[in-house]
Structure formats: C-alpha cells, structure tokens
Amino acid sequence: MTIDSTDFSQEDRQFMALAIKLAKRGRFTCTPNPAVGCVLAKDGKIVGQGYHTKAGEGHAEVMAMREAGENAKGATAYVTLEPCSHYGRTPACAKGLIEAGVVRVVAAMQDPNPQVAGRGLKMLADAGIATSIGLLEHEAEQLNRGFLKRMRTGLPYVQLKMAMSIDGRTAMANGESQWITGELARQDVQQYRAMASAILSTSKTVMIDNAALTVRWSQLDPQIQAIYPEEKLRQPLRIILDSQHKVLPIGRLFATESPIWLVSSQARDMQGYPAFCEQQVLPESSYFLTDLFTFLGKQQLNSVWVEAGATLAGKLIEAQLVDELIIYMAPKLLGDQARGLCHLPNLYHLADAPLWQLVEMTQIGEDIKLVYRRPSL
C-alpha cells in the first residue's frame, strides 16, 4: 500500500511534518506506547492537532478530534503512525475517525503492532475513507526506533553510551575517570536518559561512581524543558546487573523514589530495600544478556540506555545486542596504559570487526559526539 511520495502534495508534506513535530513532544513519557502526532486539516487550514502523551491517556487522533470538534467532519487526518484498530485502554482510533466524519487519512507508516498491522487503514478504507501511507516514513521511523524494534523483534532498542578520550580511554590506569568529557556532553546524556524506557548499568558502575542514574530535569536542554514541564518528569526504570548481590540500599541510586530492578540469577533477601526496588531473577545461562533483553521486551520496555564499563560494553557488542553507539569523545590523549573502551576477548582478526554506520557527528562544547548504528538496522 506504500505510495510513491510524489503522490503527496506540498500541503500534505507540511501537515505531516507538523504531526511529526507534535509526536516528538510525547517521546519523554509515552513508553511503552509509540510517540504519535496527528493534524486534522480542512480546506488547507488546521482544525485540530494532538499527540499522545502517556499510556492510558488519549491517542494523538483523539486529542486532535477533541480540539476539532464538529470541524473534524470533512477533514483530512495526518497521522505519524497508522491509526489503531483495536479497543485497548482507549477506543480504536480508526473507528473514532470514521465516526467524526474524516474523509481522508494519510499515515506516515504502518503500525507493526500485530494487533494493528494494516487493520486500522483497512477499517478506514472499508468505511469509504481515502487512505494513503508512506509520507515522511523515514522521519516517522526515527520517532519510534524503540517501539518499532520491540514490535518487530520482541527486543528493546539498545543504545550504548561511552565517554572516552581521543585514544579511546575511559579512565586512567588508577581508575580516575571523572570527568573525561565536559559539562555540555554530560548534559547531552540527560536527553537520552529522558527518552529511554530504562537505563541499564552494573553494580560496579553504580558503586564506583555512586551513580543516581536519574534524569535531572534542570540539566535538560531548554528546548526540551519548554515542551516537557518538570511536573511531568518520568524517571526511566533503572536496571542494575548485580550477579553478586553487591548493591546495598544506600547511596544516590536510592535517593530518588523511582523503580529499580536488581538483576541476577540468584534470589536475594530484599529486606531493607525500599518498595520501589525489586529484584528480577533470571535463570543462569551463557546467553544471559540475550535472555535479559528478551525479558525486558516482554516487560514492554521499548528502549534501553546503557551506561557501563568496558566489560559489559564488550559483552553487549559481542552478543550483537547493541543498536546504537553514542560516543562522547574528549579532546585529550590518555595513553595506552589508561583503561580501554570495551573488552572484546574473542576478536582476533581485523576482518572480523563489523563496520558500524556513522549517523551523527556533532561538536558539543570541547567534545564531539559520534553516533553509530549497526549497518544491518
């Protein structure tokens, strides 16, 4: 059903671009749902707009129809994702659009959710509504990398963050590591944390850095603050790999009352831990990390932001679990006795090292940010 993009008018393009912009406002809070934006337009004028904020609250189409009221009749709906066809926590949007008298629906992309997957558009078409799909599809894909990957593979989208020197070192030989990169780079990290469904780290990182692994609203970019007020702040789930039960209920991690999962393959006594801290016991396995991410996918976590040391980084890379590398590189040389970026004990030949795909290269203060994706994605 994908239509050649030349079939869309300049006006179509403008309204869909606005719908995508609206969708972005929901990215901090919508997990496990996708971020979706909707514009209703009639005779070239916007009659309603909306986006999805949070599971349980109105879908983008509902918000736009609410704003449009009677004006929805005869309008075209621009939606960044195919309208849903199933009755979940909210009624099916396709049905709502039909009832409101919308005459045309343009969707940026199909919803891969097996409960939708074309049914929404079919429901609309069956009701005599003109439908088309594929406008700004690439941009719509970027909005929901996490949700889309989970729907397609069952696994969350994994972003591995690393801060290093020019020569790929994360700490001095003596362990000294705070701070390699500058303040602006550290602030940049906050936006990724804020969008992630969960933050993954290890007991070692938590203990060495006394890490809180929270989103600090005050450090978000003012442009994000403008669309994401502090009172709506969502803290991502914090997942700590702690096979040896080393994380005690003390330190900055426990200072914020927000969910923590301690993961290991042996149950521990949770007495003394606050109620927001649970344990997740997974069976021992040589594929422990793959099993963990499969579990996290089942728990409806769309995306996982990883902040950890060279060991976990290497294991995730070797297990091909990383979708994106986000690298902050400070303009320093630390020398070959300093600590390395990732431990890859099974890589012996240059030709066996996969090529990552550079998708972003930005200067952030004195540092640079490099974003790489696996070529297969």
Enzyme catalytic residues: 61
C-alpha separations of 204 from 49, 103, 165, 341 in Å? 46, 57, 21, 15
Residue 325 binds a second copy, judged by CB under 8 A:
yes
Interface with a second copy (CB under 8 A), residue from 7, 244, 357, 377: 357
**167 near a second copy (CB under 8 A):** yes
Question: Per CB under 8 A, which region of 47-55, 111-119, 281-289, 329-337 contacts a second copy?
Answer: 329-337
List, in sequence order, every beta strand (DSSP E) within the chain.
Answer: 37-42, 45-51, 76-79, 104-107, 130-133, 157-165, 169-171, 198-202, 237-241, 260-264, 277-281, 303-307, 324-330, 339-340, 357-364, 367-373
Q: How many residues bind a second copy (CB under 8 A)?
A: 50
Query: Is 90 exposed, middle or buried (CB count within 10 Å of its CB: 0-12, 13-18, 19+)?
Result: middle
> Which is closer to a second copy, CB of 274 or CB of 331?
331
Does 356 sit near a second copy (CB under 8 A)? Answer: yes
Residues 335-354 that bind a second copy (CB under 8 A): 335-345, 347-350, 353-354
- We find the least distance from the C-beta atom of residue 333 to a second copy, in angstroms, to be 6
- Least separation, in Å, of the C-beta of 252 and a second copy? 21
Stretch of 4-12, 30-38, 290-298, 334-342 lying at the interface with a second copy (CB under 8 A)? 334-342
Residues 271-310 that bind a second copy (CB under 8 A): 310
- Distances, alpha carbon 186 to alpha carbons 116, 163, 252, in Å: 39, 9, 17
* 208 binds a second copy per the rule CB under 8 A: no
Shortest Å distance, C-beta 210 to a second copy: 18
Per CB under 8 A, the list member of 126, 176, 183, 257 interacting with a second copy is: 176
371 lies in the site for a second copy, by CB under 8 A: no
Identify the CA nearest to 121 among candidates 106, 135, 101. Answer: 106
Smallest CA-to-CA distance from 32 within 190, 207, 237 is with 237
Q: What is the CB neighbour count within 10 angstroms for residue 273?
A: 17
Distance CA 187, CA 218 (A): 9
| Structural Rg of the chain based on CA atoms | 23
Residue 133's DSSP bridge partners are 2, 107
Comparison of 117 and 370: residue with beta carbon closer to a second copy: 370
Which residues in this chain contact a second copy in the complex, by CB under 8 A? 164-169, 172-174, 176-177, 179-180, 310, 314, 317, 325, 327, 330-345, 347-350, 353-358, 361, 363, 366, 368, 370, 372
